[in-house]
């Protein structure tokens, strides 16, 4: 599948690039960012997939998170896709900031008019890794996943739904129990329909309750002053309780004074990359 390079910038000894391609899964052009550490010039490197949150594109993470220095140090490629299909000419796709464009929620939609294009789950777990492995110096057996907010939800479900596929998972302020929060209920109703049992396939708290795969060490950072935590959108306590019961290892850090922004992510991204490096470079 042909890739078109959109941009390339030398960064931390490697290159921060953006590419565009025609997605077979999403039936539209998609962009993704990829950081190639210096090590990628001579060796196959593991890949960390980063899933961004509501309203974001591939740009937010690469310009605000400050991940490149740590990725260069640990020899990790970081791939950051867009958060949804764009320009699909679906009626209503641009009406809300938390549904439609910029808000794919990393599910495979089953409802009209979304089901043709809004297949971000399959894009992130299948199409994109195949594309990356075919075009870059990667080790296909070493990949992990992380994300923020809606993308934290995405990272958790991808890891929990695919035991053994990802070596590690982490999240910043993830939407942990979307079937129980307003954001999730709105998105899941639109993309998956009114049957709430269909929603459970994309809920980290529900998935953790039935997880039976290899050990998956989870790292979650949550800002104590996050406005969406107090608004009951994120519900980390629900996930932590289930993981504790199921003996799924979780390091949950409630960070005083931090909010939901990229200032928060920037402050702790090095810890997350170290967490992934421990498993990716083992």
pLDDT of residue 220 exceeding 80, the answer is: yes
Strand runs labelled E in 189-276:
218-223, 250-255
> What average pLDDT does range 80-104 have in this prediction?
97
Res 29: pLDDT: 98
Contact status, residue 158 vs residue 121, Cβ threshold 8 Å: yes
Phi, psi of 153 (to 5 degrees): -55, -45
Contact status, residue 46 vs residue 142, Cβ threshold 8 Å: yes
Q: How many residues does the chain have?
A: 282
pLDDT of residue 276 exceeding 80, the answer is: yes
> What average pLDDT does range 229-241 have in this prediction?
97
Q: Which active-site residues does the annotation give?
A: 149, 226, 260
Q: What is the dihedral of CA 60, 106, 209, 111, to 10 degrees?
A: 150
pLDDT of residue 282 exceeding 90, the answer is: no
Q: How confident is the model at residue 10 (pLDDT cuts 50, 70, 90)?
A: very high
Contact status, residue 123 vs residue 25, Cβ threshold 8 Å: yes
pLDDT of residue 135 exceeding 90, the answer is: yes
Q: How confident is the model at residue 227 (pLDDT cuts 50, 70, 90)?
A: very high
CATH class as words, domain 4-281: alpha beta
pLDDT of residue 50 exceeding 80, the answer is: yes
Distance (Å, rounded) from C-alpha 162 to C-alpha 132?
Answer: 19
């Amino acid at each position: 599948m042909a890739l078109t390079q959109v941009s390339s910038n030398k960064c931390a000894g490697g290159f921060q690039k953006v590419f565009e391609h025609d997605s077979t899964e999403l039936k539209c052009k998609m962009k993704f960012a990829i950081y190639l550490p210096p090590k990628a010039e001579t060796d196959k490197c593991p890949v960390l997939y980063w899933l961004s949150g509501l309203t974001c594109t591939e740009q937010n993470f690469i310009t605000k998170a400050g991940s490149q220095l740590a990725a260069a140090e640990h020899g990790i490629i970081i791939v950051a896709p867009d958060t949804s299909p764009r320009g699909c000419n679906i009626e209503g796709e641009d009406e809300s900031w938390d549904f439609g464009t910029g808000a794919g929620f990393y599910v495979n939609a089953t409802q009209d008019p979304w089901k043709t294009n809004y297949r971000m789950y399959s894009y992130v777990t299948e199409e994109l890794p195949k594309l990356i492995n075919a075009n870059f110096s990667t080790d296909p057996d070493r990949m992990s996943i992380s994300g923020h907010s809606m993308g934290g939800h995405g990272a958790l479900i991808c890891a929990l739904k695919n035991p053994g596929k990802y070596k590690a998972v982490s999240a910043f302020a993830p939407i942990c129990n979307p079937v129980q929060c307003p954001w999730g209920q709105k998105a899941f109703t639109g993309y998956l329909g009114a049957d709430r049992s269909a929603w459970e396939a994309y809920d980290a708290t529900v998935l953790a309750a039935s997880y039976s795969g290899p050990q998956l060490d989870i790292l979650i950072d949550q800002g104590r002053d996050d406005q969406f935590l107090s608004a009951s959108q994120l519900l980390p306590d629900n996930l932590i309780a289930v993981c504790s019961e199921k003996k799924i290892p979780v390091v949950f850090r409630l960070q005083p004074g931090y909010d939901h922004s990229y200032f928060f992510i920037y402050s702790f991204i090095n810890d997350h990359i170290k967490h992934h490096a421990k498993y990716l470079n083992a």
